[in-house]
């Protein structure tokens, strides 16, 4: 039986989870959980997202509640540490300490190149052997990207740089950058896929080398897997800063991909002061399993009243955008 809107709303719980460190300028991550026959699903579009952009997020939540998972192909998922856009030395050291045994670090950049270089150097001073990936969130122009990537890569010392994620915003810019790049650095695409009107319709040939796969914004495990095979690119499964429910679903995706060559960005639970379930990181990996909700914590972080009403209305509006099955 497929979940109905009534059942989704009857099961709805809204939580606001305090962040341990600011990320995306957030102190609190507000998100919604719905429950169906097969357990919880997470509906986690950021507050400012439109109803239309939130639709795949809802499909992902519904899919999670609605059917059994296929057999997993692997048990443990290697992960990267995630460093927000901060140059606070103590904060960087502390965040790295949350990621036990991790040898890949994703660093948010794209402010001033001077500060970006300092941030990268600080991370490397703690983890000199780590692979570094930087995420620009599309904020550079093509020329800035070509110059900045070369600067970060340095003089023949760039082997540490695993890839640059979404250095520029559009498909044309990504293609142009590829033709200008003087150094051998892989380019990963994130927004180019998850913000596309139809992520199957874009031609990523000659634009990117690695695809970011995020289960919620891409509409669930089945669609994300289809997108990976459609685009025939190596993938990195990453979170959209979901709670343990959404992370469990991302881990389920990572465990079900035929190939997984890169560490995944699924360790973002460490950025919360306390998640609604503990997701331990050891030796740089997370076990791909369902992390059941701690009900005491769910109550501790639960929002009622106006926030619950807001999410009820949002889910109802987005549900009504679904195409009839
Ligand atoms: Mg990204």
Per-residue pLDDT of the chain (325 residues; tens, 9 = 90+): 699 999 999 999 999 999 998 777 789 999 999 999 999 999 999 999 999 999 999 999 999 999 999 999 999 999 999 999 999 999 999 999 999 999 999 999 999 999 999 999 999 999 999 999 999 999 999 999 999 999 999 865 778 999 999 999 999 999 999 999 988 999 999 999 999 999 999 999 999 999 999 999 999 999 999 999 999 999 999 999 999 999 999 999 999 999 999 999 999 999 999 999 999 999 999 999 999 999 999 999 999 999 999 999 999 999 999 987 6
> What pLDDT was estimated at residue 179?
92
Residue 191 C-alpha to ligand 1 middle, in angstroms?
Answer: 7
* Spatial contact of 55 and 315, defined as CB atoms under 8 Å apart: no
C-alpha distance from residue 253 to each of 70, 135, 160 (Å): 10, 22, 27
* Spatial contact of 291 and 244, defined as CB atoms under 8 Å apart: yes
Residue 182 C-alpha to ligand 1 middle, in angstroms?
Answer: 23
> What pLDDT was estimated at residue 325?
61
Residue 287 C-alpha to ligand 1 middle, in angstroms?
Answer: 23
* Spatial contact of 181 and 163, defined as CB atoms under 8 Å apart: no
For residue 143, give every residue at least 6 positions away whose Cβ sits within 8 Å of its Cβ, in sequence order, or none. 180
Neighbours of ion ligand 1 (CB under 5 A): 135, 190
Domains and CATH numbers, the chain: 5-70+296-319 (3.30.390.10), 76-294 (3.20.20.120)
Q: Which residues are catalytic?
A: 108, 214
C-alpha distance from residue 198 to each of 34, 53, 168, 226, 293 (Å): 26, 11, 19, 13, 33
> What pLDDT was estimated at residue 192?
97
> What pLDDT was estimated at residue 72?
97
> What pLDDT was estimated at residue 59?
98
Residue 212 C-alpha to ligand 1 middle, in angstroms?
Answer: 7
> What pLDDT was estimated at residue 324?
73
> What pLDDT was estimated at residue 11?
98
> What pLDDT was estimated at residue 10?
98
Residue 85 C-alpha to ligand 1 middle, in angstroms?
Answer: 13
Beta bridge partners of 13: 33
> What pLDDT was estimated at residue 24?
75
């Amino acid at each position: 039986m497929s979940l109905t809107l009534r059942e989704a709303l009857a099961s709805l719980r809204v939580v606001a989870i305090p962040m341990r460190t600011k990320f995306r300028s957030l102190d609190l991550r507000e998100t919604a959980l719905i429950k169906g026959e097969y357990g919880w699903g997470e509906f986690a579009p950021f507050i400012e997202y439109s109803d239309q952009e939130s639709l795949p997020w809802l499909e992902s939540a519904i899919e999670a509640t609605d059917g059994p998972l296929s057999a997993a192909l692997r048990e443990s998922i290697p992960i990267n540490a995630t460093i927000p856009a901060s140059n606070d030395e103590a904060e960087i050291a502390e965040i790295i300490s949350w990621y036990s045994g991790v040898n890949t670090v994703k660093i948010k950049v794209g402010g001033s190149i001077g500060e970006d270089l300092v941030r990268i150097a600080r991370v490397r001073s703690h983890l000199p052997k780590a692979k570094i990936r930087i995420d620009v969130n599309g904020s550079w122009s093509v020329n800035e990207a070509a110059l900045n990537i070369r600067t970060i890569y340095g003089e023949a010392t760039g082997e540490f740089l695993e890839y640059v994620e979404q250095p520029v915003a559009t498909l044309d810019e990504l293609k142009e950058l590829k033709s200008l790049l003087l150094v051998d650095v892989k380019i990963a695409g994130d927004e180019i896929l998850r913000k596309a009107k139809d992520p199957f319709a874009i031609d990523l040939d000659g634009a990117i080398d690695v695809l970011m796969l995020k289960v919620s914004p891409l509409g669930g495990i089945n669609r994300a897997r289809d997108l990976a095979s459609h685009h025939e690119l190596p993938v990195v499964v990453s979170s959209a800063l979901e709670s343990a429910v959404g992370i469990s679903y991302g881990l389920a995706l990572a465990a079900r991909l035929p190939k997984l060559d890169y560490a995944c960005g699924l360790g973002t639970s460490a950025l919360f002061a306390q998640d609604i379930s503990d997701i331990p990181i050891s030796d740089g990996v997370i076990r791909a399993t369902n992390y059941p909700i701690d009900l005491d914590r769910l109550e501790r972080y639960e929002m009622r009243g106006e926030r619950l009403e807001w999410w009820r209305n949002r889910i109802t509006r987005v549900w009504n955008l679904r195409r009839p099955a």
